[in-house]
Chains A and B, each alone.
Chain A
């Protein structure tokens, strides 16, 4: 039984990372109906950037710098990859463009930091804490706490600040938002900046418990798709539920079946959900208008 709980506890931590990345997808999809197919690379580059900074600033001071870096990265992705595609209304355009930017970032990162995976210094002691017979790494608790805190911060921004409300307005109705005097293009850039920022933050959260390298983000991002689909690409809370489901399913599969297959449940879940309910578990069905 304790093993089971142990797996669940690790699964929760993993799941929160997925939720954090999926949260980033929601932000941009809500405002622009697009998302960054290179989100995994944003995560990886953020983590690598953080790794470079840590010897100089220590873990905690590194975080705000990585956030700023991610913010800028998101703006670059939006300007180069997404805005031109939206202007010509090409879905293929932004999908391929964000994939291309992701490939470029990964390749550049490989050249700067090398192809090998590097260890990331942990800010917290490695000794697990025991709670109710279950051993939890302090870093795992930081992941859960950090991810929740970040999502909460963005929610507060959306509710309290005028620009946050402008973001919500743009997600609700982009034309009406324009009528309010809101520059919706800038709002979309902002949502991409925040999205990449959350990915970079997720990167430095997860890096200490795994290996850091240019490829660390790809599979994470793909599984986060599954979480975003399950949670619905428009709604907020669903991603946390989805992330937890996926994270726990994975750790259980990894232990009871085989580590090689641990990525499979998430992907199969994605396929199954899209087969049955194309708008996701929490998504709203759209009434067709002809």
Chain B
């Protein structure tokens, strides 16, 4: 007897204002901490350590954009770090240029390399992308090592103490004295860190950040919504690289020495460990991760400290394990292994004299532990435990009121007989004709059904109409802007021309909220650039406000108002289907294609769906509906076309088609096959 529960709905996020409040408080605490730290802990060693932590954090925040938001593994960030470092170091080495231009060079050059890296990375993902980034990082290291005239090769470049502010230029003494002078660099690094946090915040909460997440969750849906997967991948790499370059340039001046073998694969893995262990898609995660990877070698060097930490970890594991068992939590046997491992760690450290030689093994074990038991990192774990820490999901933290009309129907050419005309569409895959010359005429303002048994070509037709397949022959014409050909154009172009679709297997952006999903559909309304987003210009803020109001209006229309802040993956299935339709409507389409929207829905959900489709038609949008649910088709469609084996075998009103003997035979088989005689089956 098998019993698998359906996915439970997750706890709702905190109220926006509370989360925003916590965000502000956290930010202020960080500023206060950073400002006061060097005055409380005066040892230069620890101030330097804090500088390194901050520098790494800058890079890791940038890495989070690629790993956390676009969801790709980048194994080349140490290479980008190296470019930034060498840009600053080489500028000094050859031209005696100091830190300020060094930073600019670091950011600029590395961002350019990020764009170059994006080129081979555009069309690949997953392990292939990992290999591309790994190859890239290795090439960088080789070139740094070999281009001795520029980089001084394996000897490296030594830099003098950094001069941040040169008061002698204006004929003054530093107001904060010589002790303060030593801290100028520290405060510069802190300022850069804070600026990075603000920048990353602005980017991820802008259409750019949403596009990054969208291309992780469903590149196909992005294509069909006019959001260019390539373009946003490039942006993600460029921003991430720019930040790595900033970190690199700061690092060069902080360590005062650069050499090629620092920027190795091991360093990249360390950065990945930091972003994963800290927690992706957060600002505090990279900070926590950075602290861990910087402090870890120091802790591991002191066996006494290691034993204390191991003891603490073992004690914590005992508590967590005991708690799970006493409360009879469901996963108590599953966590037995990590608990046992944590406990065993303690006697192991007692037995060893020194762990430094096994430092990398400890890191490797940490990676394994994090990957399997802490996939959302420490921050993710805390967020699960403490609802108040969950992100607000709305940038401004204010709940938005719906405004304006939800549906803005574009009109097709006035007086056009047919909004969509398909002429002899042929789709051939090798020897198989999925569509064998199909004509289709869809009148404006109607709901047109497309039905047929399995393998009849309905989905193929859908994919031809939306540009996922280029038809082998035949034309598809849309009566908009004087009539335009759709065949041969990309899904993105077709979407922006006014044809929106939903998918047979729901292609929502699972980790984004309902509101954010619709906002991605509204992407075509955003005219601002990346700089608008980073600087938070009035144009950006206005566009965002208007888009949110419109998105809420659409959610209202679909009856999803209350679920605006719920992540798409936590919505009940019926609501997910409706959300997908809402997102498609955000494109302001003239034609909406629905691919089996009723599949898997319960009867009440189906009633909702039918009502909404009618409202959509009443607003002036033409609908093509592929469906198996005959009652839905018969009840809704003005006209129905029936496909079988790639041919159109019938067309007409719903009742007509239902009684057509050819259609009955297509679905049920020829009556001649009854009774075991082998008569020739008469298919159309």
- Chain A positions within 8 Å of B, measured between CB atoms, are 34-35, 37, 80-81, 84-85, 90-93, 95-97, 99-104, 106-108, 110-111, 218-219, 222, 225-226, 229, 258, 260-261, 263-264, 267-268, 270-272, 274-275, 278, 287-288, 290
Contacts and interface: CB of A to CB of B under 8 A. Distances in A.
B360 A92 contact: no
Most A-side CB within 10 Å, residue of B131, B132, B272: B131
10 contacts: A35-B127, A81-B368, A91-B127, A93-B371, A103-B360, A107-B358, A274-B132, A275-B119, A275-B123, A290-B468
A263 B359 CA distance: 29
A288 B371 contact: no
B362 to A, nearest CB: 9
B405 interface: no
B63 to A, nearest CB: 13
The main secondary structure of chain B at its interface with chain A is helix
A92 B63 CA distance: 14
A107 B361 contact: yes
Contacts of B132: 270-271, 274
Contacts of B360: 103-104, 106-107
Nearest to B361: A107
Interface in B270-294: 272, 276
Contacts of A218: 265
B145 A260 contact: yes
Given A84-B372, A271-B136, 6 more contacts: A92-B67, A103-B360, A107-B359, A222-B138, A268-B139, A274-B120
A65 to B, nearest CB: 25
A275 B372 CA distance: 32
Contacts of B73: 91-92, 95-96
Interface string B415-439: 0000000000000010000000000
A85 B363 CA distance: 19
Interface residues of B, number: 50
B463 interface: yes
B357 interface: yes
Interface of B: 67, 71, 73, 119-120, 122-124, 126-128, 130-132, 134-136, 138-139, 142-143, 145-146, 220, 265-266, 269, 272, 276, 357-361, 363-365, 367-368, 371-372, 375, 429, 459, 463, 468, 503-505, 507
A93 B138 contact: no
B276 A267 contact: no
A90 B120 CA distance: 23
Contacts of B372: 84, 93, 97
A100 B365 contact: yes
A264 B139 contact: yes
Contacts of A278: 123-124, 128
A261 to B, nearest CB: 6
A161 B240 CA distance: 50
A111 B128 CA distance: 32
Given A96-B73, A272-B120, A274-B123, A260 B142 contact: yes
Nearest to A270: B135
